[in-house]
């Protein structure tokens, strides 16, 4: 993004022009950013990547627009999928079955069948699922999702390791898992763990890595170890980027040491979601209203938590710009949406819902940053409001990659009453 003549530009186009051409609200993605985030992360693990011992499995739950999936495939990403339709979509976008790793949770038998029929490798995270799988698919290769007993994340709901998390086989039950696998002639070729999301410091990732490596020693047929996703991005203006390069170095060194002791050059898998797509995405919206109470100056908009739920759901901070007047004098306002709920705030900041924004009038175009991950993919039609369009921008060109929904889309799956 850049500022020209007091206006915000994305991919070489002014936000206002994008709004004129594609309507509001609108998701906008910068293609260059998608590609560069992917290249950056691969570079951090270059040593392993050069030896084809690193696979970045994009966690497509963060953003499953087919055009974005295709761009990331061009950049060498593979896929972390969590549902049969994610698998189907990845296959339809050209990913080969062996490039997809299915990590379900509370996985239904039909989901296992679907993956096996399509040749997609499975990562199994419960003893019962493992037993069921073994009975039906004896002789297969599998990997195990392990809960190493530690977790981290930007919000309690986003911590996926530790005794309060439903994910993975708890580390003290791994012997049972091995017995089950043996009984059904399953080969455990991988160990996976994902301790949480929005992690902004290397320590929890390295700590979890240590614990996983200790567990991995007990498995003799491993081909890979998968350390999951979780790489955080800076959402706040004052936040420095996490030094992923240093983290990559540290993880690689530790991994190579392990492989030496293990006696084989294993592959490392990672499952980044947010890091690859978060910074590339922007939610563009329009100011429809102004009002004030004794406490707040409200700026009302034509979008809401049905389009970007992170501020409401986790209290997550996202930068907000007045794209129509980037450098004008500031005022303190609460930016809210058009959903009929009081918690429909965009300008959340740890309990404070007001922030400084260049003076806003009705008709201004606002842009919410870092909305590329868990933005559109978590959107809904709540209040019977359709989802917005998505546009990809690059070098002053914009391409519609998903049209906005219409009234008929809201009714597409309903049955008419007599
Ligand atoms: N692998 C597994 C097994 C996961 O469950 C997830 C995310 C990832 C990888 C990718 O994590 P990432 O690299 O994006 O941190 N809705 C929340 C995030 C939920 C993430 C769920 N699992 C948010 O908006 O912050």
Digit-coded pLDDT (tens) for 76-112: 999 999 999 999 999 999 999 999 999 989 999 999 9
Q: What is the pLDDT of residue 407?
A: 96
Answer for the pair 259, 54: CB distance below 8 angstroms, yes or no.
Answer: no
- What's the mean per-residue pLDDT of the chain? 95
Candidates 222, 214, 134, 213; CA nearest to 179 is: 134
Mean pLDDT of 251-275: 97
Going from the Cα of 198 to the center of ligand 1, the distance in angstroms, rounded, reads: 8
Q: What is the pLDDT of residue 162?
A: 83
**Pocket lining: 271 vs ligand 1, CB cutoff 6 Å:** yes
Kindly report, residue by residue over 326-360, the tens digit of the pLDDT: 999 999 999 999 999 999 999 999 889 999 999 99
**Pocket lining: 267 vs ligand 1, CB cutoff 6 Å:** no
Ligand 1, atom 3: nearest CA belongs to which residue? 194
Distance CA 92, CA 98 (A): 14
| Residue 251 predicted with pLDDT over 90 | yes
Query: Which range among 168-172, 277-281, 385-389 shows the weakest confidence by mean pLDDT?
Result: 168-172
Instruction: Name residue, tokens 């350390």.
Output: 227
Ligand 1, atom 8: nearest CA belongs to which residue? 229
**Pocket lining: 151 vs ligand 1, CB cutoff 6 Å:** no
Answer for the pair 102, 122: CB distance below 8 angstroms, yes or no.
Answer: yes
Distance CA 383, CA 402 (A): 21
Show the domains of the chain with their CATH numbers.
2-29+278-411 (2.40.37.10), 31-276 (3.20.20.10)
Could you tell me the two tokens for 395? Answer: 């070098």
| Residue 382 predicted with pLDDT over 90 | yes
Kindly report, residue by residue over 150-174, the tens digit of the pLDDT: 777 888 888 888 888 888 999 999 9
- Residue 290 — very low, low, confident or very high, per pLDDT cuts 50/70/90? very high
pTM of the model: 0.96
174-183 vs 127-136: helix axis angle to the nearest 10?
10
Find out whether the peptide bond into 25 is cis, omega within 30 degrees of 0: yes
Query: Where is pLDDT greater, at 149 or 118?
Result: 118
Mean pLDDT of 212-236: 96
Mean pLDDT of 409-418: 88
Going from the Cα of 146 to the center of ligand 1, the distance in angstroms, rounded, reads: 16
Closest ligand 1 atom to 232 CA: 15
Residues of the chain with pLDDT > 90: what percent? 89
Q: What is the pLDDT of residue 153?
A: 80
**Pocket lining: 204 vs ligand 1, CB cutoff 6 Å:** no
Distance CA 148, CA 158 (A): 16
Ligand 1, atom 20: nearest CA belongs to which residue? 197
Q: What is the pLDDT of residue 152?
A: 77
| Residue 385 predicted with pLDDT over 80 | yes
- Residue 318 — very low, low, confident or very high, per pLDDT cuts 50/70/90? very high
Closest ligand 1 atom to 316 CA: 25
- Residue 33 — very low, low, confident or very high, per pLDDT cuts 50/70/90? very high
Q: What is the pLDDT of residue 137?
A: 97
Answer for the pair 364, 322: CB distance below 8 angstroms, yes or no.
Answer: yes
Candidates 336, 370, 380, 367; CA nearest to 18 is: 367
Terminal CA-CA length for the chain: 52
**Pocket lining: 60 vs ligand 1, CB cutoff 6 Å:** no
Kindly report, residue by residue over 367-379, the tens digit of the pLDDT: 999 999 999 999 9
Could you tell me the two tokens for 28? Answer: 């906008």
Going from the Cα of 22 to the center of ligand 1, the distance in angstroms, rounded, reads: 30
Computed from CA positions of residues 366, 368, 372, 375, in that sequence, does the dihedral angle turn out positive or negative? negative
Candidates 78, 160, 67; CA nearest to 120 is: 78
**Pocket lining: 86 vs ligand 1, CB cutoff 6 Å:** no
Q: What is the pLDDT of residue 150?
A: 77
Q: What is the pLDDT of residue 85?
A: 98
| Residue 141 predicted with pLDDT over 80 | yes
DSSP β-bridge partners for residue 356 = 332
Closest ligand 1 atom to 275 CA: 13
Q: What is the pLDDT of residue 302?
A: 98
Backbone angles phi, psi at 254, to 5 degrees: -65, -40
Mean pLDDT of 243-261: 96
Residues of the chain with pLDDT > 70: what percent? 100
Going from the Cα of 371 to the center of ligand 1, the distance in angstroms, rounded, reads: 14
Distance CA 95, CA 79 (A): 8
Q: What is the pLDDT of residue 197?
A: 82
Query: Where is pLDDT greater, at 262 or 200?
Result: 262
DSSP classification of residue 122: B
Q: What is the pLDDT of residue 36?
A: 98
Candidates 179, 135, 171; CA nearest to 151 is: 171
Q: What is the pLDDT of residue 77?
A: 98
Ligand 1, atom 23: nearest CA belongs to which residue? 374
**Pocket lining: 282 vs ligand 1, CB cutoff 6 Å:** no
Ligand 1, atom 22: nearest CA belongs to which residue? 197
Going from the Cα of 208 to the center of ligand 1, the distance in angstroms, rounded, reads: 16
Kindly report, residue by residue over 21-32, the tens digit of the pLDDT: 999 999 999 999
Kindly report, residue by residue over 178-190, the tens digit of the pLDDT: 999 999 999 999 9
DSSP secondary structure string for all residues of 105-169: SS--HHHHHHHHHTT--BEE--HHHHHHHHHHSTT-EEEEEEE-S----SSGGGB-SSTT---SE
- Residue 38 — very low, low, confident or very high, per pLDDT cuts 50/70/90? very high
Closest ligand 1 atom to 273 CA: 14
Could you tell me the two tokens for 183? Answer: 């009984």
Mean pLDDT of 2-12: 95
Going from the Cα of 331 to the center of ligand 1, the distance in angstroms, rounded, reads: 35
Residue 88 burial (CB count, 10 A): 14
DSSP β-bridge partners for residue 330 = 358
Q: Provide the annotated active-site residues.
A: 340
């Amino acid at each position: 993004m850049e500022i020209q003549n007091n206006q915000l530009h994305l991919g070489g186009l002014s936000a206002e022009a994008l709004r004129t051409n594609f309507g509001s609200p609108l998701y906008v993605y910068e293609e260059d950013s998608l590609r560069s985030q992917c290249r950056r992360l691969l570079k951090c693990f270059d040593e392993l990547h050069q030896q084809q011992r690193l696979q970045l499995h994009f966690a497509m739950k963060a953003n499953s627009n087919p055009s974005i999936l295709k761009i990331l495939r061009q950049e060498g990403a593979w896929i972390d999928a969590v549902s049969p339709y994610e698998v189907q979509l990845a296959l339809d976008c050209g990913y080969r079955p062996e490039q997809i790793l299915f990590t379900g949770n509370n996985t239904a038998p039909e989901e296992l069948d679907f993956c096996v029929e399509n040749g997609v490798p499975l990562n199994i995270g419960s003893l019962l699922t493992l037993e069921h799988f073994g009975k039906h698919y004896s002789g297969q290769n599998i990997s195990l999702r392990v809960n190493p007993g530690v977790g981290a994340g930007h919000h309690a709901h986003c911590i996926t390791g530790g005794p309060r998390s439903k994910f993975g086989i708890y580390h003290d039950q791994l012997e049972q898992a091995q017995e089950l696998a043996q009984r059904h002639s399953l080969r455990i070729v991988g160990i996976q763990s994902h301790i949480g999301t929005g992690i902004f410091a290397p320590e929890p990732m390295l700590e979890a890595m240590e614990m996983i490596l200790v567990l991995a020693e007990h498995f003799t047929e491993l081909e890979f170890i998968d350390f999951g996703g979780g790489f955080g991005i800076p959402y706040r203006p004052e936040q420095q980027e996490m030094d992923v390069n240093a983290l990559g170095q540290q993880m690689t060194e530790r991994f190579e040491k392990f492989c030496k002791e293990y006696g084989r050059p294993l592959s490392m898998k990672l499952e980044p979601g947010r890091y690859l797509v978060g910074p590339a995405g922007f939610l563009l919206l329009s100011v429809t209203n102004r009002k004030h109470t004794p406490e707040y100056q409200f700026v009302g908009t034509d979008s809401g938590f049905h389009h970007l739920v992170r501020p409401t759901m986790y209290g997550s901070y996202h930068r907000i710009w007045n794209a129509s007047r980037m450098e004008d004098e500031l005022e303190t306002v609460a930016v809210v949406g058009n959903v009929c709920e009081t918690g429909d705030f965009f300008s959340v900041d740890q309990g404070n819902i007001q922030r400084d924004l260049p003076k806003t009038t009705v008709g201004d175009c606002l842009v919410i940053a870092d909305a590329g991950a868990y933005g559109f993919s978590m959107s809904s039609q709540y209040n019977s409001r359709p989802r917005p369009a998505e546009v990809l921008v690059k070098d002053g060109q914009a391409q519609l990659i998903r049209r906005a929904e219409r009234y008929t889309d809201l009714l597409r799956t309903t049955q008419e009453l007599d």
